[in-house]
Each structure stands twice: as C-alpha cells, then as structure tokens.
Amino acid sequence: MKILVLQGSPNRNGSTALLVRSSAEGAQGAGHDVEVVDVAALDIAPCTGCVSCGYGGPCALYDDFDGVREKILSADMLVFATPLYYFGMTAQLKAVVDRFCSSNPSITGRRLKSALLAVAWNADNWTFDALESHYDTLVRYLSMRDCGRVLGSGCGTPGMTARSGFPERARELGASL
C-alpha cells in the first residue's frame, strides 16, 4: 500500500515528527511504501474561495499544492499529522486541506484509507474533541475509511513525547495497516 503522510507541524523535529517516524517505521516494516510530505515547508496559499475550480479543478492558484495533489491521487492512504493548535490542526495543514476543494471528485473517487496522528500539551479528556470532529467530517465527506488515530495528550515537548507510550502506539498503528 502507498501511504502519504501530510505532516503539518512547523517544528520539523517536534513531537509530531516523532509520531510520524514511529508510524512510518511500523508501516514500512509491514511492507508498505511511506512518503512524508512536510507541508509546513511548502509554498501553499490558502484557498481564496473563488470557485473557479468548480470544485473539480483545476485550481486557479499555482503553487506547491499541485505536487501534493498528484501525490494524494496516487496514494492508497492519507495520514494527517499535526500538533494541536487551539484545538485544531495547524494552519499549514489546514491550508492544504482547504485546497482539496479543487479536487473533491478525484479524491473522493480514490476511496482512500486515512489515519490521524496528533499531539498536544494539554491532557484533558476533551482536548482532541474538535480536531476529531473535523477529521471525522473530512473522512465522511471525502469517502475515506478511517484506519485509526493516535492522539498524544501530554506531549508538550519531544522529550515528553518520547517518554510517553504514544510513539509505540503510532508504530503499532503503522504496523497494523
């Protein structure tokens, strides 16, 4: 299976990257091809809502999203990886997701599998509620099939994350695919 990870953290060596590496190791160990795209390092403009795409493409904006779109459309699975910023995904990842509108029929037609990897400093039992609701809505809207999620609460620093059980959970998720 070809797995595309959209890593949305602007901190390349942070807790999100730790979960992504662990998940990728597990998936590669199970024989899957994993590609990680650091969307925070790309030049991707936010959707302007111009609707010139007609929700089927092409997008009127020309930037790095075109390459990401090609990778999505050749993948079997899409993994959303993000630290929690004010109870949602990062702006960098959200900009990519918002640009999906120019490719809705193509993405939906792929019937992709999906997963969510997220970390947060906060450890309250409601910490990930809004992010999970958004993710569940994306999965439903784009006809994806959720294959799991690792929600690392109490992961405020890479050291905290490394000492938690969340990297191992991410590895197990990757291996289970």
Q: What is the DSSP string of 38-105?
A: EGGGS--PPP----TTTTTS--S--STHHHHHHHHHH-SEEEEEEE-BTTB--HHHHHHHHGGGGGHH
Strand, helix or coil at 127?
coil
pLDDT tens by residue, 45-64: 999 999 998 888 788 999 99
User: For position 151, what pLDDT does the model report?
Assistant: 98
What whole-number distance in Å separates Cα of residue 133 and Cα of residue 139? Answer: 10
pLDDT tens by residue, 84-111: 999 999 999 999 999 999 999 999 999 9
User: For position 55, what pLDDT does the model report?
Assistant: 84
Please provide the distance, in angstroms rounded to a whole number, between the alpha carbons at the two ends of the chain.
9
Could you list the residue range(s) of the whole structural domain that residue 67 is in? Answer: 2-176
* Tally of domains within the chain: 1
SS3 percent helix, strand, coil of the chain, rounded to 5, is 45, 20, 35
Note the maximum CA span of the chain: 48
Task: Please choose, from the candidates 77, 72, 99, the residue with its C-alpha nearest in 3D space to the C-alpha of residue 33.
Answer: 77
What whole-number distance in Å separates Cα of residue 146 and Cα of residue 136? Answer: 8
Q: Computed from CA positions of residues 39, 44, 47, 50, in that sequence, does the dihedral angle turn out positive or negative?
A: negative
The whole-chain average pLDDT of the chain stands at 96
Q: What is the CATH number for 146?
A: 3.40.50.360
User: For position 154, what pLDDT does the model report?
Assistant: 95
Mode of pairing for the β-strands spanning 2-7 and 77-83: parallel
